[in-house]
Amino acid sequence: MQADSFTDIHSHILPGADDGSGSMEQTLKMLLIAKQQRIKTIIATPHYVCGANNKQVARLLEIKEQVQKEAVKFDREFRIFLGNELYYSEDILEALNTGKALTLAGSRYALIEFPAGETYQTLYRGLGEFILAGYAPILAHVERYRCLKEEEERIEEIIKLGAYIQINSGSLLGGFLNREAAYHRKLVKKGLIHFIASDCHDTDYRPPQMEDTFKTVLKCIDNRLVNQIFLDNPAKILENKYI
Ligand SMILES: [Fe+2]
């Protein structure tokens, strides 16, 4: 299987928008890496934390447009969309409903993160609130939560609830001696992962990575499933259709 290009649905590529890229210069370097990794569509997802000093949507749109202009200089097919990575709190739904915080690329899909030490009950209930409100919640970087470590039944339960699961592309890389990476690949193999995205913040520690992970999972995971995760599911977000 050979994908033409990838969509990265979780990235901190907008300069000065959060703890990701700190400047347009760094953003351009990240875009160059993205191009090398065959990423052509990027949903920028700056953090949104209720009560914090979040950039207003209008300002984020301006920054996104500036990045889009620069991106097409690298590759005419580059497309940048806007969203937020929503930090879960009691009032986050209100921020979303009132348009202060954003879903992914104007779709029904909302990218949500919880504190790493959050209880399973809160995580489950929180995702349920989004579903009840008519959103399609995507749990960001599933590998980060202590309550889900080695708890595949819980991940299954969250999926049954109607939520979707994202894992960071870097978390799947590593040889067979890397037990964590091997375990993460097992989650993909079992069909418990809907999205693989970079969660890129910079050019070194957390770069925009996709091609490397694609090649790695292709070696050990069914082609049809890889196709779904890398191509079909991200396309569903952009088309605003349910998976
Ligand atoms: Fe993130």
194-230 confidence digits (pLDDT tens): 999 999 999 999 999 999 999 999 999 999 999 999 9
What's the whole-model pTM score? 0.97
Structure-token pair, residue 186: 């097992």
User: Cα(84)–Cα(169) distance, rounded to whole angstroms?
Assistant: 19
Q: Residue 41 forms beta bridges with which residues?
A: 7, 79
CATH assignment at residue 210 = 3.20.20.140
Q: What's the number of domains the chain is made of?
A: 1
Q: Could you tell me which residues come within 8 angstroms of residue 114 by beta carbon, excluding any fewer than 6 positions away?
A: 87, 88, 122, 123, 126, 139, 145
| Any domain includes 44 | yes
Q: How far is the CA of 219 from the centre of ligand 1 (A)?
A: 27
Q: Dihedral of the CA atoms 52, 101, 114, 165 (nearest 10)? A: -160
| Any domain includes 1 | no
Q: What percent of the chain has pLDDT over 90?
A: 95
Q: How far is the CA of 82 from the centre of ligand 1 (A)?
A: 13
Q: How far is the CA of 111 from the centre of ligand 1 (A)?
A: 9
Domain extent for 42: 6-239
| Any domain includes 175 | yes
Q: What is the pLDDT of residue 1?
A: 46
Q: How far is the CA of 202 from the centre of ligand 1 (A)?
A: 12
Each residue of 156-202: pLDDT tens digit? 999 999 999 999 999 999 887 899 999 999 999 999 999 999 999 99
C-alpha distance from residue 20 to each of 181, 206, 218 (Å): 24, 9, 29
